Chains A and B, each alone.
Chain A
């Protein structure tokens, strides 16, 4: 396990704009990590995800300072098509990124571009289908799938190219709770079963609390915190400053504290199970006191 992504003093501004949307980013991501990128709308999350495979600056233009090394290659100096074999990017809009008329065509598109032999292509489609659990959907039209299925189809289409890193830009922002759950379930297995490095820009704190190794908090293009969910989600002052919603159970603990209960910050729960313990203790403590 080594460092797979390294940003060195990376800044970026869109063409014909003066302000930098990403400012002086310095960070390292280890191989196999699950990183969540959080922050308010307009903080630079999407822009950052597009910098990993070189869409920024190759397609959008603009000015860059510093660089981002992805698997030893500078993403700003390498063609997007070449970066595509290292970094798979799934976009927010489930509609716009599906452009064929059959699910299996969609999955085949990327690997066909890599000039792989036909047997290998078929093998990889089968594998990607299994990972995203879309067996039996091969002959469906992508536009006729549900939101969660569309997004899983987009993940499979990228996954089939076997990139080392998967980058997902708000993959569940247009999905209902069930679709969101399905997609996060798949993302989790990418890391746990297939050892991929995963970076997700998202607002879904509950899922992040459960799956992420570290959270990168962006505010106005700068990294204001980059730490474990336990540290980030218990820092309610930071969260309200950057407009990131903590998991509901953490918010509950913070609220109870403000109402005079005494919950240690290091005991703030992140998951429902943890919350159960904390609340049981509270109730137990109260009844003991009487």
Chain B
């Protein structure tokens, strides 16, 4: 099971009309990009966590995303803390960090509190973004996604192309792991213990079978799809129909209002914190 795979369940989020989910996904992504205030962002992240809870998605995934982003966020905080340059009058936490006794560079270097907070905001923004996408992919089947896109006015061939690409990500992740395991089992250690150049070279041995395998798979899939009359007609019918229920509209409107409120507070509070 990969992190983007459909997560079987029967929560309200699962049953929600995919069109509404799609629109909300885009809306939330934009809002998260707009938000710059730390507290507003924390609130937003808490709301996203609440949706995870409602959809009964595994919380341990979020821990995995956090671990994945940790080094990047740490790097951002250090970088911003040392070289923060925007803002009129940044709050200084420590100055200078290099004591005066050191020759030449002594008396220089500043740690900005604003910079650290800005780094945190960037990190939290990334984490929130990373957590929003799976709420859609893990609660919506491929056919629902495709149907949603078609009902939103997309040509069904493009809709299928999109959903197939989405579906390909977890497949590729799985395949990568399989190839690496197979290589490890035959004593190939470059990924763990090799030097930088060895590691780079090792990626060639990973990418080649991965690409070749994907091409072969894609071709077979094409044969299978054409063999089942994909593209025979201008339109196609669907076994399942979408019906926009009142509560989906209510929920959608509610989230939209929430987003407006969040943006409003962000403007009112202003700044990073």
Contact = CB atoms under 8 A, between A and B. Distances in A.
A115 B142 CA distance: 19
Interface in A99-120: 99-102, 104-105, 108-110, 112-118
A114 B227 contact: no
Contact of A50 (B221, B223, B230, B236): B223
Given A80-B226, A88-B227, A113-B228, A97 B142 contact: no
A55 B143 contact: no
Interface in A52-109: 53, 55, 58-59, 79-82, 84-85, 88-89, 91, 93, 96-102, 104-105, 108-109
A254 to B, nearest CB: 38
Interface string B210-253: 00000001011111111111111101111101000000000000
A8 B141 CA distance: 46
Given A101-B141, A101-B143, A161 B229 contact: yes
- Interface residue SS majority, chain B: loop
B173 to A, nearest CB: 13
Interface string B49-70: 0000000000000000000000
A109 B226 CA distance: 11
Most buried by B among A85, A102, A112, A141: A112
Contacts of B241: 118
Contacts of B29: none
A164 to B, nearest CB: 14
Interface centre among B217, B220, B231, B239 (most CB of A within 10 A): B239
A157 B221 CA distance: 14
Interface residues of A, number: 42
B237 A121 contact: yes
Contacts of B164: 99
A81 B143 CA distance: 20
Nearest to B220: A96
Given A105-B143, A108-B239, A118-B238, A99 B227 contact: no
B229 A114 contact: yes
A244 B226 CA distance: 32
A118 B164 CA distance: 23
A96 B217 contact: yes
B236 A91 contact: no
A193 to B, nearest CB: 22
A125 interface: yes
A180 B235 CA distance: 37
Contact of A91 (B223, B229, B235): B223
A243 B8 CA distance: 47
Contacts of B233: 113-115
A102 B236 CA distance: 19
A106 to B, nearest CB: 9
B176 interface: no
A110 B228 contact: yes
B220 A97 contact: yes
Contacts of A59: 219, 222-223, 226
A114 B227 CA distance: 12
A104 B239 contact: yes
Contacts of A118: 237-239, 241
A162 to B, nearest CB: 12
A112 B222 contact: no
A282 to B, nearest CB: 48
Contacts of B229: 81-82, 84-85, 110, 113-114, 161
Interface string B132-145: 00000000011100
Nearest to A88: B227
A158 interface: yes
A169 to B, nearest CB: 10
Contacts of B220: 91, 93, 96-97
B6 interface: yes
B221 A115 contact: no
B183 interface: no
Contacts of B6: 101, 141
B237 A116 contact: yes
Interface in A140-158: 141, 157-158
A96 B227 CA distance: 13
Contacts of B143: 100-102, 105, 108
A114 B229 CA distance: 7
A85 to B, nearest CB: 6
Contacts of A82: 229, 232
B116 to A, nearest CB: 43
Contacts of A89: 223, 227
B228 A158 contact: yes
A108 B143 CA distance: 10
Given A108-B143, A109-B225, 7 more contacts: A85-B232, A89-B223, A97-B224, A99-B164, A100-B143, A101-B167, A109-B228
11 contacts: A81-B229, A84-B227, A84-B228, A91-B227, A96-B224, A99-B225, A100-B141, A101-B6, A104-B239, A109-B228, A121-B239
- Of all A-B residue pairs in the complex, the 3 with the closest CB atoms, nearest first, are A110-B228, A81-B232, A96-B220
